[in-house]
Amino acid sequence: MSTPDLNLLITLNVLLAEGSVARAAQRLRLSPSAMSRALARLRETTGDPLLVRAGRGLVPTPRALELRERVARLVQDAEAVLRPAERLDLKQLVRTFTLRIRDGFVENFGPALIARISAEAPGVRLCFVQKLDKDSAPLREGSVDLDTGVVGDTTSPEVRTRALFRDRFIGVVRMGHPLSQGEITPSRYASGMHVLVSRRGHDEGPMDEALKPLGLERETVTIVGGFSAALALARASDLIATVPERHTGNLRAGMYSFPLPVTPPEITVSMLWHPRMDADPAHRWLRECVRDVCAEQLSASTSGGQAAED
């Protein structure tokens, strides 16, 4: 099999963007006849007309429409590879990064992250948006720069990931709650009234699965979509909230936290990003900031006796 002429990608990208042989020729500084010959080669190589005449103009075929975004990305990636790396000047960097997070992340890591960003790059602004699902489309489309959360089956395989920390679930109740005194057995824990956290409205979670082998079942009184809401309800009632320990450290201030009497699986909280941002110096700096701040905050909380041991 002969090696394809990769220069044709540049020609195809311009042709699909312009939709005109004459304009594409002008943009690439070629003669119209040379561009026509290039289009003929592209048609032969792809086995598709790509652009067909409609009245006085040309319209793309379905195959051309399918290729347009892919070809544009390939050309952009190639240009980025061949472009000399620029030294990142953080003091002159002006940019807004959008981070998609679960509730608890801003409360625990936000202040330190903002302070680090402001000190190193005063022109950078962080925009935190709530993570309502695990859809990777916002990363692919560029509406989200960096995601945090647990990597799951629905995470797109193209997404890059890096672990930030491991976390375990704990029980949380208001001060003075009956569970704040005495030994907490599986039956005592299960017999209480529970608030379940589920973004999708499921009526069971990991703790329910962990209790089943013991023949126990929780009484779930209400279901909420986030840890903040679960802890707010537990703070003002006799409800029991089950939340990840490290992710909710500051949210649990003034409440009684206890190890669970059964052990659900630990979770790994990671940061996720689209591979097109791998080589971007500013994005790489942002990832380093998030990683360092999480490590520093967790180290400080562990020293203070507030975090669980790995």
DSSP 48-115: S--EEEETTEEEE-HHHHHHHHHHHHHHHHHHHHHSPPPPP-GGG--EEEEEEE-TTHHHHHHHHHHH
Residue 171 and residue 241 in contact, taking contact as beta carbons nearer than 8 Å: yes
Domain annotation for the chain: domains and CATH numbers: 7-82 (1.10.10.10), 91-159+281-303 (3.40.190.10), 169-265 (3.40.190.10)
Q: Grade residue 123 by pLDDT with cuts at 50, 70 and 90.
A: very high
Q: What is the number of residues in the chain?
A: 310
Instruction: Identify the bridge partners of residue 203 per DSSP, sorted by sequence position.
Output: none
Q: Grade residue 305 by pLDDT with cuts at 50, 70 and 90.
A: very low
* pLDDT over threshold 60, residue 303: no
DSSP 118-160: HHH-TTEEEEEEE--S---HHHHHTS-SEEEEE--TTS-TTSE
* pLDDT over threshold 50, residue 306: no
Residue 95 and residue 272 in contact, taking contact as beta carbons nearer than 8 Å: no
pTM for the structure as a whole: 0.65
For 224, other C-beta atoms within 10 Å of its C-beta total 18
**pLDDT tens string 215-240:** 999 999 999 988 999 999 999 999 99
**pLDDT tens string 87-98:** 789 999 999 999
Give the pair of three-digit tokens for residue 268: 């790994």
Residue 239 and residue 195 in contact, taking contact as beta carbons nearer than 8 Å: yes
Compute the mean pLDDT over every residue in the chain, rounded to the nearest whole number.
88
The confidence score (pLDDT) of residue 194 equals 96
Residue 40 and residue 67 in contact, taking contact as beta carbons nearer than 8 Å: no
Residue 4 and residue 74 in contact, taking contact as beta carbons nearer than 8 Å: no
Number of H helices, E strands in the chain: 10, 12
What percent of the chain clears pLDDT 70, i.e. is strictly above it? 95
Rank 32-36, 48-52, 81-85, 175-179 by mean pLDDT and report only the highest: 175-179
CA–CA separation, 118 and 179 (whole Å): 42
**pLDDT tens string 165-213:** 999 999 999 999 999 999 999 999 999 999 999 877 787 888 998 999 9
Residue 20 and residue 57 in contact, taking contact as beta carbons nearer than 8 Å: yes
